[in-house]
Amino acid sequence: MKEAIKKAMFGLALSGALVGNAQAETTEDYINKIRAMDSKQLVQYIKTPEQAQRYLNTFARYTSDLEASDFTKNNFELPFEKIHEHVKKFGFFRGDCEEAQTFANATLSDNGYQRRELVMILNKKNKENGKYQSHSLYPFQKDGKWGTIGINNTDYHSAKYPTLEKLCKDSAFEKEIGKVIAYFLRDRTNPNYILPTKKDIKIVK
């Protein structure tokens, strides 16, 4: 009886190890799999914010609009199809926070997440025009709590914040991008919504 139990336990352990090995995926495997997908297949594949952040961590190369050869001086935003087209062709895409949230909106909106953008206004100004700098993220909700994903790995925050203000006050943001003094949500389903009104902007206290 004891021998039978030992054999059964060994069989379970072995099958578990085999399953684990079958499921193991190297970074190279992941890159090859993603680059083999077209845009429609990618949208079907990415179902969670965590999967979207992994794509950005793997393929995004941060470049400001004026530095990227694909961009014009009009702050042009690379569309989703172009983002993945560059990944398929070159193995990466160049962009900034706008491209990251564009990618997130395109992939996650088909999986139950809303089309929106969190724009955070920072307590530092551009030397060229004297305007406050900003940083945009894709905000998502789970069980009523807020989280974000973005161009940087540090932009990812799991859904644990009861309000957007508490999320914006996270010390990680201040360390990486500067102190957030205000924020607003941009409705990405409305193509005419570009600039917020005074009532849209929330002050971080």
- Inter-residue contact 171 to 180 (CB < 8 Å): no
Question: In which domain, by residue range, is 111 found?
Answer: 27-203
**For residue 15, is it within any domain?**
no
pLDDT tens digits along 22-78: 468 899 999 999 999 999 999 999 999 999 999 999 999 988 755 544 444 444 578
CATH classification at residue 33 = 3.10.620
Summarised one tens digit per residue, pLDDT across range 3-22 is 444 434 434 443 344 334 44
How confident is the model over 113-124, as a mean pLDDT?
A: 92
The half-sphere exposure of 100 on its side-chain side, counting CA atoms within 13 A, is 32
pLDDT of residue 35: 97
Query: Which residues, listed in sequence order, are joined to residue 118 by a DSSP beta bridge?
Result: 137, 185
Whether residue 202 is predicted with pLDDT greater than 90 in this model: the reply is yes
Asked whether residue 48 is domain-assigned, the answer is: yes
Query: For 116-131, what is the mean pLDDT?
Result: 87
Residue 13 domain-assigned (yes or no)? no
Residues facing residue 62 across a β-bridge: 95
Angle at 65 between CA 164 and CA 117, to 5 degrees: 20
- Average pLDDT, rounded, for the chain: 83
What does the block give as tokens for 50? 């965590």
The pTM score is 0.79
Residue 34 counted as domain residue:
yes
The arrangement of strands across the sheet holding 202-203 comes to 157-161, 145-149, 132-142, 116-125, 180-187, 202-203
Confidence at residue 9, expressed as pLDDT on a 0 to 100 scale? 40
> Is residue 130 helix, strand or coil?
coil
Share of the chain above pLDDT 90, in %: 55
pLDDT given for residue 13 in this prediction: 45
Q: Domain for residue 176, yes or no?
A: yes
Please indicate, yes or no, if residue 198 is contained in any of the structural domains: yes
Provide the domain count of the chain.
Answer: 1
171-200 average pLDDT score:
82
16 inside domain: no
Is 52 contained in some domain? yes
Report the distance separating Cα 170 and Cα 177, nearest Å.
11
